Amino acid sequence: MLRAVCVFLVLGFALAKHEQYEGFGLYKIIVKSPEQIELVNYLSHTLDLDVWSHAVPGRAGQVLVQKDKKALFQNELKGAGIEFTLESDDIKEILDLEDRLLEAASKKRNNASRLDSLPFDQIYTYHQVDAFLELLAEAYPNTVTLVNAGKSVEGRDIKYIKISTTNFEDSSKPVVFLESLLHAREWITLPATLYAIHKLVIDVTEQDLVQDIDWIILPIANPDGYEHSHGEFRLWRKNRSSAHSLVCSGVDLNRNFDINWSTASSNNACSDTFHGSGPFSEPETTVIKSIFDQYSDRMELFLDIHSFGSMILYGYGNGQLPSNGLFLHLVGINMASAIDNVKMSWNPNYIVGNVAHVLYDASGSAGDYAMSAGVPFSYTYELPGHRFGIGGFGFFVDPAFIEQAGFETWEGIKAGARYVRDNRTKK
C-alpha cells in the first residue's frame, strides 16, 4: 500500500510539467553603481538565484527568483534603492505558454514533408536532430560526413558534421567550426546551426562558402543537458554530471576547458558555473577539445553560439587581449553589423567586445580554449531573446522567430567566414 502511494506520488510529480518553477518571479533590474552591482551579486549568491543576465549601468539585468524568496529579494532591492520590475510573477505560465506555442506550430505545419530538411518552426529534440543528421549524410554523401565523436555521460552520441566539397583533403582551405547548445537551456541557438547547415547543404545560394571553406558543425554540444531541458528542467544549463556531489549535478561545460581553469568560475557543485573536478573532466568538453586538436592547423574561425543578450564576445575571459585583439574586434564588428542590418527592429544592436569587459571574468571557456589552441578568430555569440517580438523573456522561444534567429545569425556567420577566407593567417 505504502509502495503504491509512493509510486503514485512519484508519477504525479513527474507528470506535472514545470511545476517546480511555479511562482518563480522574473525580475528586471536596473543598477546605477558598482555598489548596487555588488549587492545584486551578493543576493544572487546567498539566495541561490538564477541570474539570466547581469545588470550593469546602462543595461538592465534579469534574475529568476524562487517563490519563497521573492519578498526578501524585493525588500533588499528597495532598501538599496535599486530599481526593478517584476516581469513575470509566475514563470511557469511563460513555460506553459512556450509549450502551447510550439505545439500549435507543429500542428499547423503542412506535413512533416521533407525528410532531409527540418522546418524552422520548432525546437527539435536530440533524437530529431540526430535522425536529421543521419539522413543528411545519406542524402548528400559528396559533401556531408557525419562524425560520431564520443559519448556523453548518459551515453548519448555526440555527433558533428563536416561539410566539404573536397572531403577535408584540401589543406589550403580554412576550417570554420560552429557549435551550439553547450548550455542546455539556450534553445534558440540550435536553429542557428541548423540554418547554417541548411544553407550550406540543402538550399545553397552562396556557392563560394561551400567551395572555399571546410565546415565543422556541432549542433548539440551538450546532449544530456539538452534532453533534460526538454523534460521537467527547462531552465537547465549544465551537463548532467553527478560525480561531484550527492545533492547537485552538472558541470558548466563552458567553464571546464583547460584555459585558466578555475580562476574565474565556481568550485561549488550546486552553482550554475561549477567548473568540474578538473580541466576536461567531462566527456563533452573532451570531444570539443579533440576537434580543436585535429583541425587547429587550418581552423581560422570558431563560433560558439549561446543566448541571450545580443552580443559578440571574445577573450580572454580575464580581460587580457590576444595579440590580434584589434582584428578580433574588427571582425566582431563586421559580423555584428551584418546581423544588425537584418535584425528585428525591436531588438537592440549587437554589442561587440571582450567578455570580461562587457560581462564578467570567466575562465575555462570554449572560446578561450580555441584561441589557446591556435584559432585566431574565436567568438561567443549571445543571440537575442526572441519572444513575442519584444525580446523580454530571454531563454524562451516563440516559433514565430525561430527562422529569423537562424536567418539573421547566418548573416553574421557569413561575414566572419568570408573574412577568414580572404584573410588567411595560416597556410
Residues with a catalytic annotation lie at 382
- 354 near ligand NAG, judged by CB under 6 A: no
Kindly state the smallest distance separating residue 153's Cβ from ligand NAG, in Å.
Answer: 3
- 289 near Zn ion, judged by CB under 5 A: no
Instruction: Pick out residues in 269-288 that bind ligand NAG (CB under 6 A).
Output: 276, 281-284
What whole-number distance in Å separates Cα of residue 322 and Cα of residue 314?
10
Kindly state the smallest distance separating residue 121's Cβ from ligand NAG, in Å.
Answer: 13
Report what 341 binds from Zn ion, ligand NAG, none; CB cut-off 5-8 Å by kind: none
Kindly state the smallest distance separating residue 113's Cβ from ligand NAG, in Å.
Answer: 4
Kindly state the smallest distance separating residue 25's Cβ from ligand NAG, in Å.
Answer: 29
* Beta pairing, strands 311-314 & 351-354: parallel
Find the helix or strand (DSSP H, E) in which 380 lies. strand 377-383
What whole-number distance in Å separates Cα of residue 321 and Cα of residue 327?
11
Strand partners, 306: 382
Report what 372 binds from Zn ion, ligand NAG, none; CB cut-off 5-8 Å by kind: ligand NAG
What's the half-sphere exposure (Cβ side, CA atoms, 13 Å) at 340?
14
Residues 6+ apart with CB under 8 A from 284: 152, 153, 158, 182, 221, 222, 223, 239, 253
Nearest residue (beta carbon) to ligand NAG: 241
- 306 near Zn ion, judged by CB under 5 A: yes
* Beta pairing, strands 214-218 & 175-180: parallel
What whole-number distance in Å separates Cα of residue 427 and Cα of residue 425?
7
Kindly state the smallest distance separating residue 186's Cβ from Zn ion, in Å.
Answer: 5
- Figure out which of the listed residues 154, 340, 361, 411 binds ligand NAG, where binding follows CB under 6 A: 154
Residues 6+ apart with CB under 8 A from 412: 312, 335, 336, 338, 339, 381
Binding mask of the shown chain, residues 304 to 333, with x at each position contacting ligand NAG by CB under 6 A: ------------x-x-x-------------
Kindly state the smallest distance separating residue 120's Cβ from Zn ion, in Å.
Answer: 21
User: Crossing angle, helix 189-197 and helix 126-139, to 10 degrees?
Assistant: 10
- 239 near ligand NAG, judged by CB under 6 A: yes
Cell 548519448 maps to which residue?
A: 156
- Residue whose CB is less far from Zn ion, 201 or 305: 305
Give the range of 6-14, 41-49, 59-67, 234-242 binding ligand NAG by CB under 6 A: 234-242
Binding mask of the shown chain, residues 36 to 75, with x at each position contacting Zn ion by CB under 5 A: ----------------------------------------
CA-to-CA separations, 400 to 95, 106, 147, 348, in angstroms, rounded: 16, 12, 32, 18
Q: Whose CA is closest to 64, among 29, 35, 13?
A: 29
Nine-digit cell string for 124? 527539435
Instruction: Pick out residues in 241-270 that bind ligand NAG (CB under 6 A).
Output: 241, 243-244, 251, 259-260, 263
Distance linking the first and last C-alpha atoms of the chain: 72
Which residue ranges make up the site for ligand NAG (CB under 6 A)? 110-111, 113, 152-154, 224, 239-241, 243-244, 251, 259-260, 263, 276, 281-284, 316, 318, 320, 372, 418-419, 422-423
Residues forming the site for Zn ion (CB under 5 A) = 183, 306
